A and B are shown apart, each in its own frame.
Chain A
Amino acid sequence: MNYTFQFGVLNDYGPYLAGGLWHAWWTSFPAIIFSTVLGVALAAMSMSRLWIARGASVVFVDLFRTLPVVVLLIWIHYVMPILTGVSLSPTMSSVIALSLNGAALACEAFRGGLEAIPQTQVQAAQSLGFSRWKVMRYITLPQAFFATLPSLTNVHITVIKNVTVTVLIAVPEVMFRAQELTVQFFRPLEFYTGAAVLYVALIWGYTILMRMLERLQKWQPI
């Protein structure tokens, strides 16, 4: 190995590289919110009595968890404008692509959590006069929420990691900036290592937040 490390370049350009985290966060955070909300709705639909709601949920999930994120992103950013005449900013396209993919994954996580709630809980609520919707709203979903949190955290981590593919459409997040700086200074090791460290830090930070959320659960299943 005859590469001489010059981490000094990070002194000069580290802040610029780290500034990419801002874009990474503001792409992944809305995508995390949308995918979670949409995932809950899809999971609820998958348990509906209406076949059309169940069908829509299955089609959505099977489509968007199979479509590679890169394909989805390129399609939304470059193909959709041709069809609709509406072009979106790179960040917007990225949020949509990551949300659709994340929603499919979140739906499966919630569905697992909902199906684990014993049927006797539903019966107890129904015997008190709860409608199917109110059973979901007040009994099964709140219980499934905490049971789903660990797998939901995994989904969110996947969403954050997927931000790196937005480099393809020039969202100025960390990977994009690392690439930009490397081309300029020929120091791939320093910049890409820096990018790796920044993403790991972001995801660890997020994981710690979610662990704190898990600790808010004061009850235990019986």
Chain B
Amino acid sequence: MATDLIATAATAPAAERQAFIRIRDVRKSYGAVPVLNGISLDVAEGEVLVLCGPSGCGKSTLLRCINGLETINSGDIAVDGRSVSAARTDELQKIRLSTGFVFQNFNLFPHMTALQNITIAPVKILGLSQRDATDRGRQLLERVGMAEKADVFPFQLSGGQRQRVAIARALAMEPTLMLFDEPTSALDPEMREEVLQVIRQVHHDHGMTMVVVTHEIGFARNVGSRAMLLDGGEIVEEAPARTFFASPTHERTRRFLRAIVNE
């Protein structure tokens, strides 16, 4: 019985397998201002989706909706087969356990050291012992190159270091999905690479599903499997990442890509 299921799953064509993230006709407005005007989108397991778009087009809003941090007006969002949009608060908390969110402005907890930032959720939410969480936290800090900064508070860290701790904090929950909201755009150019390198490494080590909002074209081309342009609350263009950046079909996309290259 179990072997049957595995066999079917393995032989099913990719398109028929259920998408890891399934978004159907999602609409979201803040008061009378529409932000998302009917977004439909599938992300397969292990895929890295790059999300681009001009400021204010709703990229952050879409990520927050995927994580259930915003309620949507209509449509449906499911992650790993579980509906986010229809979930009760306690179900939502469970779904969020397997999704990591990395914010543009890091959002580290300023009253906790780097290590405490990483261990608090495993201890208080997953119920790990302090010692296990600390061991794991130190390993994670090591992996993001922050081992020496374990006992330092966020205000004593540079932007790039803060973001690396924030990534480690999300990884500590062993998520199956990572959402990155412009992880490098608040950083000085010389700090961007250290963060992008960590994200590349995470992708290489875990191969987890990722949705990345970024305007770092080089990174997006290398790591991204698919890319899309969001504008006016709609998906303008969607293509394999290399095609998207090398030969976009829509004029809107071409204009957008020219604009960010000239930045």
Q: Please encode chain B, from 68 to 92, with 1 for each CB lying within 8 Å of some chain A CB and 0 for all others.
A: 0100000000000000000001100
A221–B156 Cα distance when bound, in Å, is 11
Chain A contacts for B173, CB-based, 8 A = 128-129
A121–B69 Cα distance when bound, in Å, is 12
Q: Is A143 located at the chain interface by the 8 A CB criterion?
A: yes
A129 and B69 within 8 A (CB): no
Q: Is A66 located at the chain interface by the 8 A CB criterion?
A: no
Q: Is B163 located at the chain interface by the 8 A CB criterion?
A: no
Closest to B109 in A: A139
Total contacting residues, chain A, CB less than 8 A: 23
Q: Is A193 located at the chain interface by the 8 A CB criterion?
A: no
Q: Is A131 located at the chain interface by the 8 A CB criterion?
A: yes
Q: Is A6 located at the chain interface by the 8 A CB criterion?
A: no
B154 and A124 within 8 A (CB): no
Chain B contacts for A138, CB-based, 8 A = 120, 124
A120 and B109 within 8 A (CB): no
A143–B107 Cα distance when bound, in Å, is 13
With A129-B121, A219-B153 given, is the CB distance from A124 to B111 under 8 Å? no
Chain A contacts for B103, CB-based, 8 A = 120, 123-124
B78 to chain A, nearest CB (A): 18
Residue in contact with A123 in the complex, picked from B107, B121, B124, CB distance below 8 Å: B107
A130–B99 Cα distance when bound, in Å, is 13
A218–B93 Cα distance when bound, in Å, is 31
B111 and A142 within 8 A (CB): yes
Residue in contact with B105 in the complex, picked from A120, A130, A142, A221, CB distance below 8 Å: A120
Chain B contacts for A146, CB-based, 8 A = 111
Q: Is A220 located at the chain interface by the 8 A CB criterion?
A: yes
Chain A contacts for B112, CB-based, 8 A = 219
Chain A contacts for B160, CB-based, 8 A = none
Residue in contact with A128 in the complex, picked from B90, B105, B111, B125, CB distance below 8 Å: B125
A222 and B154 within 8 A (CB): yes
Interface residues of A in 204-222 (CB under 8 A from B): 218-222
A124 and B94 within 8 A (CB): no
Q: Which one of A120, A128, A221 has the highest number of Cβ atoms from chain B below 10 Å of its Cβ?
A: A128
B161 to chain A, nearest CB (A): 12
Chain B contacts for A220, CB-based, 8 A = 110, 153, 155
B97 and A219 within 8 A (CB): no
B111 and A143 within 8 A (CB): yes
A221 and B110 within 8 A (CB): yes
B110 and A127 within 8 A (CB): no
Residue in contact with B100 in the complex, picked from A121, A127, A130, A131, CB distance below 8 Å: A127
Chain B contacts for A120, CB-based, 8 A = 103, 105, 107
Q: Is B27 located at the chain interface by the 8 A CB criterion?
A: no
Q: Please encode chain A, from 126 to 151, with 1 for each CB lying within 8 Å of some chain B CB and 0 for all others.
A: 11111110100011001100100000
With A120-B107, A134-B125 given, is the CB distance from A129 to B96 under 8 Å? yes
B120 to chain A, nearest CB (A): 6
Q: Is B209 located at the chain interface by the 8 A CB criterion?
A: no
A127 and B99 within 8 A (CB): yes
B101 and A219 within 8 A (CB): no
B155 and A219 within 8 A (CB): yes
B125 to chain A, nearest CB (A): 5
Chain B contacts for A130, CB-based, 8 A = 93, 121, 124-125
> What residues of chain A have their CB less than 8 Å away from a CB belonging to chain B?
120-121, 123-132, 134, 138-139, 142-143, 146, 218-222
25 cross-chain CB contacts under 8 A = A123-B69, A123-B103, A123-B107, A126-B96, A127-B67, A127-B96, A127-B99, A127-B101, A128-B97, A128-B169, A128-B170, A129-B93, A129-B121, A129-B126, A130-B121, A131-B90, A134-B125, A142-B111, A218-B153, A219-B155, A220-B110, A221-B155, A222-B110, A222-B155, A222-B162
> What residues of chain B have their CB less than 8 Å away from a CB belonging to chain A?
64, 67, 69, 89-90, 93-94, 96-97, 99-101, 103, 105, 107-112, 120-121, 124-126, 153-155, 162, 169-170, 173
Q: A123-B101, A128-B125, A129-B173 are in contact. List 16 more A-B contacts (CB 8 A).
A: A123-B103, A123-B107, A124-B101, A124-B107, A124-B108, A127-B69, A127-B100, A127-B170, A128-B121, A129-B121, A219-B111, A219-B112, A220-B153, A221-B110, A221-B155, A222-B155
Closest 8 A/B residue pairs (Cβ): A127-B101, A124-B107, A128-B121, A220-B155, A219-B153, A129-B97, A129-B125, A129-B96
